[in-house]
Chains A and B, each alone.
Chain A
Amino acid sequence: DTEVTQTPKHLVMGMTNKKSLKCEQHMGHRAMYWYKQKAKKPPELMFVYSYEKLSINESVPSRFSPECPNSSLLNLHLHALQPEDSALYLCASSQVGRGNTEAFFGQGTRLTVV
């Protein structure tokens, strides 16, 4: 099983709303990632969690708040977003270590901020 599951698939939210994106994997991976992707552009790294601890924050605005409740789950809490935050948000997971650390991506959440 190489599946990373993201919910919801689509989300429309107002600029004053609070919402959360969810990600789940059961591959035993101990690294999980959030990426943001604009149309026809490569994914941009936002956050990395290793062993349930935040290890990389790519200078992401505080209106994005990640959370890793356990080794299988990753959330991204959204608050007071701007229209330019509309994008495809991708979750990924991988093993931790020196080899075979290829990342597997979920199908993404298409976020529209109105």
Chain B
Amino acid sequence: GQQLNQSPQSMFIQEGEDVSMNCTSSSIFNTWLWYKQDPGEGPVLLIALYKAGELTSNGRLTAQFGITRKDSFLNISASIPSDVGIYFCAGQRPVYNQGGKLIFGQGTELSVKP
């Protein structure tokens, strides 16, 4: 099925560094979501974006909904060891009278060197 282009696929960073990852699509989405998944657990919603150009923060996390509605980025400032995990972007197009169907990126695996 359709997937989003998420980059980078993996990154190793020093504790305290800032992290940036992004997703791009060839088609428009109404909603962009960012999830974090720890091993053996389900994805946890970090940030939801609903309007083109919207910039939203959640603690050390900041995400933006691209103005063209075809891209989004997630920044993590001052990374800490517990930021380790896989981060997924997801685009959503609501289906009339139904829940929205999510299209996921391939994930960015974040490893932090303590």
Is there contact, CB below 8 Å, between B104 and A42? yes
Q: How far is the CB of B78 from chain A (nearest CB, A)?
A: 26
Query: B38-55, CB under 8 A of A: which get 1 and which 0?
Result: 001111110010100000
Query: What is the CA–CA distance of A42 and B35 in the complex, to the nearest angstrom?
Result: 11
Q: Are A102 and B33 in contact (CB under 8 A)?
A: yes
For window 1-25 of chain B, which residues contact chain A by CB distance below 8 Å?
Answer: 1, 3
Chain A interface residue count, Cβ-Cβ cutoff 8 angstroms: 39
Of all chain A residues, the one with the shortest Cβ separation from B9 is A40
Report the minimal beta-carbon distance from B69 to chain A, rounded to whole angstroms. 15
B102 touches A103 (CB 8 A): yes
Name A67-114 residues within 8 Å CB distance of B.
Answer: 88, 90, 93-108, 110
Q: Is residue B92 contacting chain A, with contact meaning CB distance below 8 A?
A: yes
Does any Cβ of A come within 8 Å of B81's Cβ?
A: no
A–B complex contacts, Cβ < 8 Å, 27 sampled: A31-B100, A41-B107, A42-B3, A42-B106, A44-B1, A45-B1, A45-B102, A56-B98, A56-B101, A88-B42, A90-B42, A90-B43, A97-B94, A100-B48, A101-B31, A101-B94, A101-B100, A102-B31, A102-B45, A102-B92, A103-B45, A103-B92, A105-B42, A105-B44, A105-B45, A108-B40, A110-B40
